Structure 1
Amino acid sequence: MEAQLLTCAKTRVFNPDDPSKLLKINSFFDKGAVPHCWVTKRLAESLQLKENPCHVWVTVFDTIPQKKESADVRLGLRLSDGTHHYIDCKVVDKISPKPVKAIIAYSSDRKVNLDTDFLVPSFVEIDLLLDQRHCDIIKEDEGRRRLNSGFKLVPSKIGNLISGYG
């Protein structure tokens, strides 16, 4: 059975006001999302991000736009070369109503051998959705290739991403 994956990765995020508050989370890179990045309330609270209340209009898959309470926050990403990238996000209860199917290329316990390991998608909770403005900053064009599984390897400044069909 073929699976389509969302482009997700383990990402190290931190509170820009207190970089010692650092977490490793699952992020989703959505080239179609504009004009906001979204972060879960759970993550904003865990990192103790400074929240500025606001309202947003939300439309999901051709539904009628709804005005929702939210907050503006600033979040830091720690890139693999040790540098930092900062993003402004809107806070929501959940990024997705249910876990999404993804392969996370690296875990804390081992490195996945992308050419020989049997890559099995699993369902993961997403805490950060990055819109197209940040997808272009994070993703690198060099080194993209198709894996034996059929999925695509997308090198990035936060580590390898795996997406596509397999």
Structure 2
Amino acid sequence: MDELRAVVRFAADCAQGLLPEFEAVAPNDSRPREALAAARIFAEGAARSNRQRTAAFASHLAAKAVAEETAQLAALACGDAAASAYLHPIAKASQVGHILRAAACAARVAELRMGATREAVLALAARATSPVPEILRRYPSAPAGSSRVAQLMSELDAAIRG
């Protein structure tokens, strides 16, 4: 559980800075903030519960309710932080998203806002302190995928493993 809490903490830390992107567009929609709170509660020692699942799902629905890409990415990252509590120990590449998707969303927002992709990837990878890299290495590498977020997830994966 301590390792799982570390993964959730990493994902929540990556998503936290994106919350203003969503709230600027949808100030009355608290679903991403609630997803981050659910992630933080688990990361701080509470039992994993349905709260993380339902908050993740609700935050992902909030992403669909806004048109601006940075706001969508923020809501997705917050939802992914809560969903990361359900990282499965079976070593499948699809599980890497539970570890890295929130960070990939943050990298994409940095790319859209500042055009600083490599710098953002390296800064986010540096946030992955022990035991996150060790946990990540138990899984196959993230597939490059066709979406920009998937490509950034693959870059983050390589940077953290390296």
TM-score w.r.t. the length of structure 1 is: 0.27
TM-score w.r.t. the length of structure 2 is: 0.27
Mark the structure with the bigger radius of gyration. Answer: 1
Greater share of strand residues, 1 or 2? 1
